[in-house]
Every structure is written in structure tokens, then in C-alpha cells.
């Protein structure tokens, strides 16, 4: 649900023409913490579905971190990043539904006898 909300929020910013981005220290630190957390979770998981999910979230937070640090980004760049972010969050929402409702069993593993 959170990913769907973030997709809507990113889309709403684009629709309303709101292309400003926070550049304060707290925003930068918050994005940095999320980037590190997602990178850690991505490296620790072995399920390919979860890896895709964490990679998409990592990409979104990396974009946010980059814009928080880049104070002189043009309005066009910020708009484009918001559009990409809306798409990424939407994709992440779909992937999270798949991860949540999939069994995680592929049926291709055989039991060892003996």
C-alpha cells in the first residue's frame, strides 16, 4: 500500500507542476539511511522476487538522495525524475503484490533421496 501511495504522490506532484525538492540536512540524511538500508536488504536476500522489490525501492531512494544533494538541478530534471519515480513506485507496488501473494515455491526443486 505504501508503494502505491508513493506512486500516487509522485504522480500528483507532476500533475500539479510541483517540481521543488527539499535540500535540508535531514532530508539528505534520511535518504542516505534508506539507501544504505535497502542496499543491505538487497545484499541479504536470496529470493529473486524480493531482490527485485528492494532494487526498485533502492533506485527510488537513490534518485531522491541525488536530488536532495543536487541543489542546482533544473526544473526539467526534477520533473523528469518525478515522472520516473512515479513509474518506479508503481512498478514496485505491483512487485510487492506479487511478493506478498506468491508462495515462493517454484516446484522445480527435487528432494534428495537417501
Per-residue HEC secondary structure of 60-77 comes to: HHHHHHHHHHCCCCCHHH
Which is it for the CA torsion 87, 13, 22, 78, positive or negative? positive
Instruction: For residue 112, tell me if it sits in a domain.
Output: no
The answer for residues whose C-beta is within 8 angstroms of residue 104's C-beta and 6 or more apart is 47, 49
* pTM of the model as a whole: 0.83
Question: 113: pLDDT confidence band, cut at 50, 70 and 90?
Answer: low
Instruction: For residue 108, tell me if it sits in a domain.
Output: no
pLDDT score of 43 = 92
The answer for residues whose C-beta is within 8 angstroms of residue 5's C-beta and 6 or more apart is none
User: How many domains is the chain built from?
Assistant: 1
**Cα separation of the two ends of the chain:** 45
Distance in angstroms (rounded) separating the CA atoms of residues 103 and 99: 8
pLDDT by residue (tens digit) across 72-109? 999 999 999 999 999 999 999 999 999 888 876 654 44
pLDDT by residue (tens digit) across 19-74? 888 899 999 999 999 999 999 999 999 889 899 999 999 999 999 999 999 999 99
Instruction: For residue 41, tell me if it sits in a domain.
Output: yes
Instruction: For residue 97, tell me if it sits in a domain.
Output: yes
Instruction: For residue 111, tell me if it sits in a domain.
Output: no
Amino acid at each position: 500500500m505504501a508503494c502505491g501511495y508513493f506512486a500516487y504522490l509522485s504522480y500528483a506532484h507532476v500533475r500539479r507542476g510541483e517540481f521543488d525538492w527539499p535540500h535540508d540536512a535531514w532530508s539528505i540524511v534520511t535518504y542516505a539511511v534508506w539507501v544504505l538500508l535497502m542496499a543491505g536488504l538487497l545484499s541479504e536476500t536470496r529470493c529473486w522476487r524480493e531482490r527485485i522489490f528492494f532494487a526498485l525501492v533502492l533506485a527510488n531512494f537513490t534518485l531522491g538522495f541525488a536530488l536532495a544533494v543536487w541543489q542546482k538541478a533544473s526544473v526539467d530534471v526534477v520533473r523528469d525524475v518525478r515522472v520516473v519515480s512515479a513509474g518506479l513506485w508503481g512498478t514496485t507496488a505491483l512487485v510487492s503484490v506479487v511478493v506478498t501473494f506468491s508462495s515462493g515455491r517454484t516446484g522445480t526443486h527435487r528432494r534428495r533421496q537417501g
